[in-house]
């Protein structure tokens, strides 16, 4: 029997949690060793995921590394596997998690041990979500992630953390119950929850519409899509830096992944039926969220709204049902994972030094923090979609794909690019350029230290590499995307 590499990836962080819990001694010793353990665990996980990637068969559009065993008798099996689409999201998760841990061990002041435990548990749930090939298992990981994230926002967050944590939890919980009903209804109608079997056997048409809606509500809340997005700015603003990074870089991608895997994979007829509906919501999200982002005075809120807008591209890309659109959507998810992570880390860098997220408290940062300014401007430009960065490829491909299907939507969505340039560049102008002035005793602003440089430059280099040579992602996902497009095309 082969080594269960995916199970290892999913549950290895929990082993780290156990080791951290078992450490005894003075607070200082425990703290230091829990830092070391969590770094070690997350880095090993990343290396293992690279190994997984090296073994991955690019030509095979189906699921690989599949592990299956009976779990709840006659009902749910423990079945996991990855295909071209999900393996990148797994890689993204294993890549971002160590960065989060590195970024937070120096800046966090209280309860570091518990924080690291929460992050590691979160990692298990996130990898599990992308690997699960059983609807029940997916739901378990999808919902389970709420617990650590709720605690991360609530314990280590800013002033209004309680409100934000509750809002985040209740919103997502309310959304997901509809998915639960849909999953149960699928079970009684199809007698299986196995994703592969469900994709092969067609779900009856009259059922598809309701099931699609059930999944849609819960995924749209998590994405978040306009008008279900209001929890996101609050959660982002109050969450600690690492929490924001995980939220933006990975949690938001779960929905995009869910749309491709479930909405398109299981309910193709309903997806066609509702495509225009999704287009309308996405276009509103892009334009509205960009306009709202323009007016923000809080940097994190601005980036949060820009995330809403960028997720709008993901959904129009997915629901264009074209190869370019889907390619673009997946590319956009990964690229947004890198760019938003780096933007949130940048804001975290400023916040650690000055303890303010307000734009008006900063001006002319470039004069004292040149390296920081470089990274910040670069990330903002990548966020705008400057050619040469990965942001450009994602947006461009989704717009091409959408143009084929519905040019009005494409044109409207393209205005978002201009708006995003407006708010990003204006943010840069206000914070980075101008005369040096920082409120709140920020006279001694130190430039990036070594850890921060390593983290941010790694993200930056990846953004450029993917931007210059997008085939790194597009080629591996191509066969899986072809399969999805073919399935969707068969419906028309």
- Min dist CB 78 to another protein, Å, is 10
Closer Cβ to another protein, 27 or 435, answer by number: 27
Token pair 């990846």 is found at 462
| Length in residues, the chain | 492
Q: How far is CA 351 from CA 247, 362, 428, 438, in A?
A: 18, 11, 16, 12
User: Contact, 184 vs 243, CB < 8 A?
Assistant: no
- Min dist CB 153 to another protein, Å, is 10
Closer Cβ to another protein, 11 or 407, answer by number: 11
User: Tokens representing 11?
Assistant: 């549950």
User: Contact, 69 vs 137, CB < 8 A?
Assistant: no
User: Tokens representing 405?
Assistant: 């299907």
Nearest alpha-carbon partner for 119 in 228, 31, 41, 206: 41
- Min dist CB 7 to another protein, Å, is 13
Closer Cβ to another protein, 170 or 465, answer by number: 170
Closer Cβ to another protein, 238 or 452, answer by number: 238
- Min dist CB 234 to another protein, Å, is 15
Nearest alpha-carbon partner for 89 in 347, 243, 314: 314
- Min dist CB 11 to another protein, Å, is 12
Compute the distance between CA of residue 81 and CA of residue 90 in angstroms, rounded to an integer: 11
Is 295 in a helix, a strand, or coil? coil
Closer Cβ to another protein, 187 or 433, answer by number: 187
Closer Cβ to another protein, 183 or 311, answer by number: 183
Which helix (H) or strand (E) segment holds residue 486: the answer is helix 471-491
User: Tokens representing 420?
Assistant: 């995003």
Closer Cβ to another protein, 110 or 441, answer by number: 110
Is 299 in a helix, a strand, or coil? helix
- Min dist CB 44 to another protein, Å, is 24
Instruction: Please report, as ranges, the residues that interact with another protein according to CB under 8 A.
Output: 70-73, 139-140, 143-144, 146-147, 150-151, 154-155, 161-162, 165-166, 169-170, 173-174, 177, 180-181, 184-185, 187-188
- Min dist CB 262 to another protein, Å, is 17
Is 26 in a helix, a strand, or coil? coil
């Amino acid at each position: 029997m082969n080594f269960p590499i995916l199970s290892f990836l999913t549950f290895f962080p929990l082993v780290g949690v156990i080791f951290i819990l078992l450490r005894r001694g003075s607070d200082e010793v425990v703290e230091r060793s829990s830092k070391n353990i969590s770094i070690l665990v997350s880095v090993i996980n990343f290396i293992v995921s690279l190994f997984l990637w090296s073994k991955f068969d690019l030509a095979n559009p189906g699921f690989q590394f599949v592990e299956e065993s009976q779990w709840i008798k006659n009902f749910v099996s423990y079945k996991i596997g990855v295909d071209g689409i999900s393996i990148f999201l797994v890689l993204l998760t294993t890549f971002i998690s160590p960065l989060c841990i590195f970024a937070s061990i120096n800046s966090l002041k209280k309860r570091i041990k518990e924080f690291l435990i929460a992050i590691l548990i979160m990692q298990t749930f996130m990898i599990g979500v992308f690997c699960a090939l059983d609807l029940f298992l997916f739901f378990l990981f999808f919902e389970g992630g709420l617990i650590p994230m709720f605690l991360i926002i609530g314990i280590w967050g800013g002033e209004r953390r309680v409100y934000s944590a509750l809002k985040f939890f209740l919103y997502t919980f309310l959304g997901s119950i509809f998915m639960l009903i849909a999953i149960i209804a699928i079970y009684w109608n199809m007698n299986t929850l196995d994703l592969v079997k469900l994709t092969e056997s067609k779900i009856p048409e009259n059922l598809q519409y309701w099931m699609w809606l059930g999944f849609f509500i819960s995924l749209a809340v998590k994405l978040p899509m306009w008008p279900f997005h209001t929890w996101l700015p609050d959660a982002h603003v109050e969450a600690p830096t690492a929490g924001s990074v995980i939220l933006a870089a990975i949690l938001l991608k779960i929905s995009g992944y869910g749309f491709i895997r479930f909405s398109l994979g299981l309910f193709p007829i309903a997806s066609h039926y509702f495509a225009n509906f999704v287009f309308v919501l996405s276009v509103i999200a892009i334009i509205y969220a960009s306009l709202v982002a323009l007016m923000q005075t809080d940097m994190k809120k601005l980036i949060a709204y820009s995330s809403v807008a960028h997720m709008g591209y993901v959904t129009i890309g997915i629901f264009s049902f074209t190869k370019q659109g889907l390619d673009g959507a997946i590319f956009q998810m990964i690229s947004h994972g890198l760019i938003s992570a780096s933007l949130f880390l940048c804001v975290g860098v400023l916040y650690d030094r000055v303890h303010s997220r307000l734009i008006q408290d900063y001006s002319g940062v470039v004069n004292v923090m040149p390296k920081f300014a470089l990274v910040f401007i670069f990330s903002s430009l990548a966020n705008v979609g400057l050619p040469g960065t990965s942001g450009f490829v994602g947006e461009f491909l989704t717009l091409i794909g959408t143009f084929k299907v519905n040019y009005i939507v494409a044109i409207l969505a393209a205005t978002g690019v201009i708006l995003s340039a407006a708010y990003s560049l204006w943010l840069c102008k206000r914070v980075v350029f101008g005369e040096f002035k920082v409120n709140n005793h920020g006279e001694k602003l130190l430039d990036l230290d070594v850890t921060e440089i390593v983290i941010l430059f790694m993200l930056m280099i990846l953004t450029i590499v993917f931007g210059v040579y997008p085939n790194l992602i597009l080629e591996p996902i191509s066969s899986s995307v072809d399969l999805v497009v073919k399935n969707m095309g068969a419906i028309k």
